[in-house]
A = this chain, B = another copy of it.
Amino acid sequence: MGSRPAPCGTGAAFSGRESVGVTAASVRKAPKAKAKPKAKPKPKPKRLPPDERERLIVREAVAFFAERGFEGQTRELARRLGITQPLLYRYFPSKEALLDRVYQEVYLNRWNPHWEDILEDRSRPLEDRIVEFYSDYARAVLTYEWIRIFMFSGLRGMDLNGRYLTVVRDRIFARVIRELRFENALPAPSEVPISEAEFELVWSLHASIFYIGIRKWIYGLTIPDDVTAVVVALTTAFIEGVPAVVARLTDASPESRVRAAARRPTP
Specify which chain B residues have a CB less than 8 angstroms from the CB of A238 in the assembled complex: 237, 241
Bound together, the chains give a CA A117 to CA B237 distance in angstroms of 27
Q: Is A43 an interface residue (CB 8 A)?
A: no
Say if the beta carbon of A244 comes within 8 Å of chain B.
Answer: yes
Check B230 against A236 for contact (C-beta < 8 Å): no
Closest to A157 in B: B220
Q: Residue A13 at the B interface, CB < 8 A?
A: no
CA distance A165 to B219 in the complex (A): 9
Q: Is the CB of B245 within 8 A of A237?
A: yes
Residue of B nearest to A234 (CB): B204
Q: Check A103 for interface membership: any CB of B closer than 8 A.
A: no
Give the secondary structure class of A's interface. helix
Interface residue ranges of A151-167 to B (CB < 8 Å): 151-152, 154-157, 159, 161-162, 165
Residues of B contacting A219 in the complex (Cβ-Cβ under 8 angstroms): 154, 161-162, 165
- A50 sits at the interface (CB 8 A): no
Residue of B nearest to A207 (CB): B211
Q: Please name all residues of chain B whose beta carbon is closer than 8 Å to the beta carbon of A196 when the two chains form the complex.
A: 224
In the complex, whether A182 has a CB less than 8 A from a CB of chain B is no
Asked if A208 and B203 sit within 8 Å, CB to CB, the answer is yes
Residues in chain B near residue A192, CB distance under 8 A: none
Which residues of chain A in 208-226 are interfacial with respect to chain B, using CB atoms and an 8 Å cutoff?
208, 210-212, 214-215, 218-221, 224
Q: Verify if A240 is at the interface (C-beta below 8 Å from B).
A: yes
Interface status of A69 (Cβ within 8 A of chain B) = yes
Q: Which 9 A-B pairs have the closest CB atoms?
A: A241-B241, A237-B241, A207-B211, A204-B208, A240-B244, A154-B218, A161-B219, A240-B241, A71-B71
Q: List 20 A-B contacts (CB under 8 A).
A: A69-B71, A69-B155, A69-B156, A148-B155, A151-B155, A162-B221, A197-B224, A201-B233, A201-B237, A203-B212, A204-B208, A204-B237, A207-B208, A211-B211, A233-B245, A236-B245, A236-B248, A237-B244, A240-B244, A240-B245
